Amino acid sequence: MRTASTAGCATDKPYRETMPCLEKGSFFKYEFEAFTLDLLPALKAALPFGASYRNPKVLTLDDVVIPLISVDDLLADKAVNARPKDLIDITQLKAIRQLGEG
């Protein structure tokens, strides 16, 4: 919430009402020692929000439930972006997914 308020977003309103305060293409990036976390307000892939929202990957950390975009939806978005980093991510995500299936 602090990040939202520093971006000029109202934190006392529902998310949909605060969304317009973000510039198009903006996102929040958090750098950690082992990884970087990007929080995106929108995707470029033609994924209906409702379908992605109903198909989350759920992570629980310290009793906090965190819904994340599914691997399939993330792969679809990365394919649309197709930046060099996205292409590397696609290869790595598919390899990780195969390890989980084995």
Residue 25: which region, alpha, beta or left (left: phi > 0; alpha: psi -120 to 50)? left
Q: What is the predicted pLDDT for the residue at 2?
A: 45
Q: Which regions in the chain score pLDDT beneath 50?
A: 1-6, 15-16, 18-19, 102
Domain C-terminal end among 10, 26, 41: 41
Q: How many domains does the chain have?
A: 2
What's the pTM value of the predicted model, to 2 decimals? 0.60
- Give 6-47 as a 3 state SS string: HCCCCCCCCHHHHHHHCCCCCCEEEECCCCEEEECCCCCCCC
- Pair (33, 60) in one structural domain: no
- Pair (51, 100) in one structural domain: yes
Tokens 């991510």: give the residue.
89
